[in-house]
Amino acid sequence: MQLTSSARTAPSGSTVIEGATIVTMDGSRREIADGYVVVQGSRIVDVGPGPAPSYPGARVADGRGCLITPGFVNTHQHLYQWVTRGLAADATLFEWLTTLYPVWAGIDETSVHVATQAGLARMALTGCTTAADHHYVFPREGGDPLAASIVAAEEVGLRFHPARGSMDLSRKDGGLPPDSVVQERDEILAATDAAITRWHDPSPESMLRISVGPCSPFSVSEGLMRDSADLARHRGVRLHTHLAETVDETEWCEVQRGCTPLEYAEQLGWSGSDVWFAHGIHFDDAEVKRLGAAATGVAHCPSSNARLGAGIARAADLREAGSPVGLGVDGAASNEAGSLLEEARHAVLFARARGGPRALGVRAALEMATLDGARILGREDEIGSLEVGKLADLAVWRLDTLAHAGIDDPVAALVLGSTPPLELLLVNGRPVVEQGRMATVDEESLARRVARVQRDLVRKAG
């Protein structure tokens, strides 16, 4: 898709995409068979059917054969893992962690910068405009990996919601990670508070917001979980952790804590609309209802859950109960594809494999990838739909190639078909992807750096 100058005259920075099918995801879930979207600066200023009104001077794109959707919102990822993909390919979660922790112990700010650039570039190429990362590995000689990831996200151009993660239980304490990657509770809380002060931007057009993210019940002490919740609420930021991912975790919690993972989290203040859990596979009926009543969010990661044999989350049940359920690609070391569009497809297929052909529709999956993800991050008033006044985060997909031509329903074509060519990705009104190529970073150079860093990390781990 070429953006061309028009004889029309428009305010500086205006872009018109016309002739496209549009799935707005607005309050009435309006779908337009032949319409236009107008962007001015960082905002959407017009959406409608038929030819676009005259906008003199605007850049105009021919959207015929294309589908425009809101940009996708990734609610859970570990970007540092992009440089450790393909290891422990046939392992359980605990076996996988035991294998990978010695490799992750060697990461530093340089490797995290490369991994974050690569992971976010891949996300952008599959329609993602906002990414929530969960970084919890801080080797003592690793520099400042959180800062490195933030710089990388700014270079790629995606909206970024990193969780300052943490672990304070190592092997000597009965946890899984080596001593070299955990920190003391006071050190963690001070570093997290400092990260919020330095980086968190609560402004309406923010490209960067920090959340608080202790890793998981089996790598974090009870005191750190409780103090993290208190800190987040004192600073007005959101809370994120892994929960109920495997049967092993449930059994561990019952032995060590005398309750289920959710009961344990709730006892420590981890419940409410400012909280979202990654995975959330092993919740019973009563817990699903409690999550919905509290509007606690869940990041559904179907590909990673399948890769590790962890199970299938009850995404449809959670949504029906009132819990916002977004999508997450999870760490690249347990989801080598790193495609949020693939997560939407897998969410549909796995839900139907579990609950029958009507368990989850293609439009529900698209809602999870957009509006529900925005709601989990507290940004549903700014992103997640194509509406006048919202931020110009959008994806333009080409659906007239051999792979998709003839599929009558464009949403079914997008969600159930193969990944279509991405003609244009705008974030805050700025092009990040154009005609299937990154507009902000050099893909070939980045691929070479990823391969080099991966070799060095594996060699360092012995």
Burial track 252-288 (b if 16+ CB lie within 10 A, e otherwise): bbeeeeeebbbebbbebbbbbebbbbbbbbbbeeebb
pLDDT at residue 427 in the model:
98
134-192, pLDDT tens digit by residue? 999 999 999 999 999 999 999 999 999 999 999 999 888 877 788 888 999 999 999 99
Provide the total of helices (H) and of strands (E) in the chain, helices listed first: 15, 18
Q: Is the pLDDT of residue 5 over 70?
A: no
Q: What is the pLDDT of residue 174?
A: 73
More confident residue, 6 or 395: 395
Residue written as tokens 């999508």? 327
Average the pLDDT over 34-54 and give the result.
96
Residue 426 structure tokens: 């705008």
Phi, psi of 179, deg, nearest 5: -60, -30
Residue 19 pLDDT > 80: yes
- What is the reported pLDDT for 1? 59
- CB neighbour class for 358 (10 Å; exposed up to 12, middle 13-18, buried from 19): exposed
Q: Name residues whose C-beta falls within 8 Å of residue 12's C-beta, 6 or more positions apart in sequence.
A: 57
**C-beta separation of 279 from 299 below 8 A:** yes
**Average pLDDT value over all residues in the chain:** 95
Predicted confidence (pLDDT) at residue 13 exceeds the cutoff of 70? no
| Residue range(s) of every CATH 2.30.40.10 domain in the chain | 4-70+382-438
Q: Alpha-carbon distance 443 to 441, whole Å?
A: 6
- Cα separation, 245 vs 80, in Å, equals 20
- In the chain, CATH 3.20.20.140 sits at 72-376
Q: 72-376, superfamily in CATH? A: Metal-dependent hydrolases (3.20.20.140)
pLDDT of residue 217: 84
Looking at residue 179, its pLDDT comes to: 86
Question: Tokens 């933030």 sit at which residue?
Answer: 150
Q: 106: buried, middle or exposed (CB in 10 Å: 19+, 13-18, 0-12)?
A: buried
Q: Is the pLDDT of residue 7 over 60?
A: no
Task: Report, as an integer, the average pLDDT of 21-38.
Answer: 98
Q: Please report which confidence band the pLDDT of residue 6 belongs to, taking 50, 70 and 90 as the band edges.
A: very low
pLDDT of residue 10: 37
User: Are residues 305 and 313 in contact, defined by beta-carbon separation less than 8 angstroms?
Assistant: yes
pLDDT computed for residue 319 by the predictor = 98
**pTM score, two decimals?**
0.96
Q: Which of 342, 446, 449, 365 is nearest to 123 (CA)?
A: 342
Extract the tokens encoding 114.
């490369």
Q: pLDDT at position 428, please?
A: 96
Q: To the nearest 10°, report the CA torsion of 222, 170, 83, 76.
A: -10
What is the number of other CB atoms lying within 10 angstroms of the CB of residue 456? 14
- Dist. CA 186–CA 184, nearest whole Å: 6
The predicted-structure confidence for 101-120, as pLDDT tens digits, reads as follows: 999 999 999 999 999 999 99
Q: What is the pLDDT of residues 337-378, one digit of tens each?
A: 999 999 999 999 999 999 999 999 999 999 999 999 999 999
Kindly report which listed range (65-74, 86-95, 123-132) carries the lowest average pLDDT score: 86-95
What tokens does 112 get?
Answer: 């995290």
- How far apart CA 51 and CA 34 sit, in angstroms, is 8
Task: Tell me if 66 sits within 8 A of 1, measured CB to CB.
Answer: yes
- Give the rounded percent of residues in the chain with a pLDDT score beyond 70: 97
pLDDT for 8 equals: 35
- CB of 317 closer than 8 Å to CB of 300: no
Q: Is the pLDDT of residue 26 over 80?
A: yes
Q: Domain 4-70+382-438: give its CATH architecture.
A: Roll (2.30)
Nearest to 21 by CA among 396, 405, 404: 396
Give per-residue pLDDT as tens, 303-328: 999 999 999 999 999 999 999 999 99
Q: Are 119 and 339 in contact (CB under 8 A)?
A: no
pLDDT at residue 444 greater than cutoff 50: yes
Mean pLDDT of the region 254-270: 96
**Which pLDDT value is given to residue 94?**
81
**2 — pLDDT class (breaks 50, 70, 90):** low
Residues of the chain with pLDDT > 90, as a percent, come to 89
Q: In angstroms, rounded to a whole number, what is the distance separating the alpha carbons of residues 75 and 82?
A: 17
In tens, the pLDDT along 223-251 reads 999 999 999 999 999 999 999 999 989 99
Q: What is the pLDDT of residue 361?
A: 98
